[in-house]
Amino acid sequence: MSETPRLETYPHVTHDKLRYSDTDRQGHVNNAVFSTYLETGRVEIFYQDPDMIEEGCEFVIARVVLDFLGEVRWPGEVTIASGVRKLGSSSVTLEQAIFQNGACVARAETIIVQINQTTRKSQALGERARAKLERLSLA
């Protein structure tokens, strides 16, 4: 994650509307809200398609690294861009970026693991999920 991300390099893009309640004492969007924006991008990838999750499984976050590159100011919206950087047997490494008015204001690397709801142990991604995630590859 050394270069400043460019929106056009990401295969999945979505948006979030900024809320006045997201702002802090300095008048910009609070840093904790950036994680919520990243969640918006992840949820659209992993939970809007029933083929993504094996029966009896769910996705959990194993790691998040978030770099703040600029401020976000209300009002307006942010664009959340996501792509798959690496695909493991039960894990997915996402690269995500947040943009406002065309400028990249944050970037993140998130590792998501599919786990079995009963055993709470990792479980391999299914073939359909793997195929859909490969289409979101940044490589």
DSSP letters, the chain, are --SPP-GGG-SEEEEEE--GGGB-TTSBB-HHHHHHHHHHHHHHHHTSSGGGS-TTEEEEEEEEEEEE-S--BSSSEEEEEEEEEEE-SSEEEEEEEEEETTEEEEEEEEEEEEEETTT-SB-PPPHHHHHHHHTTB--
Q: What is the pLDDT of residue 4?
A: 84
Q: What is the pLDDT of residue 1?
A: 52
pLDDT tens digit string along 3-19? 788 999 999 999 999 99
Mean pLDDT of the chain: 94
Q: What is the pLDDT of residue 27?
A: 85
Q: Where are the domains of the chain?
A: 7-134
Mean pLDDT confidence for 121-136: 96
Q: What is the pLDDT of residue 2?
A: 59
Residue 51 has pLDDT above 90, yes or no: no
pTM score: 0.93
pLDDT tens digit string along 67-109? 999 999 999 999 999 999 999 999 999 999 999 999 999 999 9
pLDDT tens digit string along 16-30? 999 999 998 888 999
- Domain 7-134 falls in which CATH fold? Thiol Ester Dehydrase; Chain A (3.10.129)
